[in-house]
Amino acid sequence: MVRAEWVVVGDPADSRVLDDGAVAIVDGRIAAAGPAGEVLEAHPGLPTTRLERHVLVPGLVNTHTHLAMNMLRGSAGDRDLAGFLAVVMPLEARSLTPDRVERATRAAAVELVRSGVTTSIDMYFDVESGLRGASSVGLRLLTGPTLIEGGPTTATWDEVVAAAGEWLDRRPASGTWRPVIGPHGTYTVTPDQLAEVAAVIDGRDCILQIHLSETEAENQTVLERYGSRPLGVLEAAGLLTRDTVLAHGVHLSADEIRRVAEVGAAVAHCPASNLKLASGVAPVRDLLAAGATVSLGTDGQASNDDLDLLAEMRLAALLHKGTSSGAAGPDATALPAPVALRMATLSGAEALGLEALTGSIEVGKVADLTAVDLSSPWIEPVRDPIGSLVYSASRADVAAVWVEGRAVVSEGRCVSVDERDVVRSLRSLGEEIHSS
């Protein structure tokens, strides 16, 4: 059982905060959530973790990452997307090995859980290596083949597609696991190739993740090549569905926003990466007004340069207050703290098709929980726990994290790995790559 000074129950956007609340965990699931006295009475004898001046929230969900790119952190700063890719892609082509991907993903998983993340999607190569790295830390990682002809390997498109189908056969959806297929983008994968991807995933339970409309240049390039903007190309291939996660969506038109919302696809908003690469500001206010699912992502560490989803949550809340949306000007009420928290939790679960299992503190869901210490001098006094979490807290305040009831962070440190060893390995990776 976890007892905390404040517990955010139900849909985070509803701002239902229990004072002195508790969550009972049985077999990895939430058996009860409510006032501490009631939960203790209903479930006597459960070992109890007591957290004073902490807020307990659902585990955070990161819906767009390239985790092993931490080995390339700092390699391509102060460049736009085209300049960034021109540096990073050749580095990847000569640097990636299964061992390096596993070590790098392990370090990324440490960074994520230390930031309160319990579930993350990934788009990278050497998928099994990445899964081993994440598993060693206790992070739930949803991943799968990244589809781009060649990429950092010499594989042909036919080989890439065939391997993706075989991998899906070996890794079908089950419980909180859903495989991910990741065609890189409509500017790197042709319409005919996207149609082949659609054929591979037809009838399968999986997530389709793709970069889309990240820059105006991307939109223009795709329009000139194929006579349609990226979203139209994706739709024509039959790949815009409820199971689609659109990374970035910075330059979606009003009509495209409507179409995204109508089919139930999700947009993974990555504000820090979009700003650093000068890609622009996604139309989040318009997406939310249209009823679209908008979740949060960090993107990769080579472009962000970190995986701090708490920081993304704060940045999103501030950014969309201070920018215009259509005819509406800046608005301090545009993205309130509870909505930002929902984007980082339940909306993320919805984007990944896991909202029935995680994303909120509700009976029957798996016990994915994050406890944040609000007693720091940069946070107190606490008048609104959700506001304090969104606008004042940082990953340094993340005290404990549970994934399906299993502690993966305790007293601010990872439970299953030696963080000093992880840091030494990550440092070594950087040296190996830049000396090769």
Residue 420 C-alpha from the chain's centroid = 25
What's the mean pLDDT in 347-357?
98
Rounded to 5°, the CA angle 82-86-91 comes to 145
What percent of the chain is modeled with pLDDT above 90?
88
The whole-number pLDDT of residue 435 equals: 72
| pTM greater than 0.85 | yes
Interval 115-137: pLDDT, tens = 999 999 999 999 999 999 999 99
Q: Hey, where are the domains in the chain? A: 2-58+369-403, 60-351
Q: Which fold has domain 2-58+369-403?
A: Urease, subunit C; domain 1 (2.30.40)
The whole-number pLDDT of residue 90 equals: 85
d(CA 314, CA 370): 17
Rounded to 5°, the CA angle 378-383-387 comes to 70
Q: Which fold has domain 60-351?
A: TIM Barrel (3.20.20)
The whole-number pLDDT of residue 328 equals: 85
DSSP 185-221: BTTTS-HHHHHHHHHHHTT---EEEEEES-SHHHHHH
pLDDT confidence bin for 436, thresholds 50/70/90: low
- Is cis: bond before 191, omega within 30 of 0? no
pLDDT confidence bin for 93, thresholds 50/70/90: confident
Helices (H) and strands (E) in the chain, counts: 16, 17
What's the mean pLDDT in 194-222?
97
Question: CA 375, 119, 390, 323: dihedral to nearest 10 degrees?
Answer: 160
Model confidence at 38: pLDDT above 70: yes
Interval 138-179: pLDDT, tens = 999 999 999 998 777 778 999 999 999 999 999 999 999 999
Residue 327 or 141, more confident: 141
Asked if 2-58+369-403 and 60-351 have one fold, the answer is no
Question: What one-letter code names the amino acid at 388?
Answer: S
Model confidence at 189: pLDDT above 70: yes
The whole-number pLDDT of residue 75 equals: 81
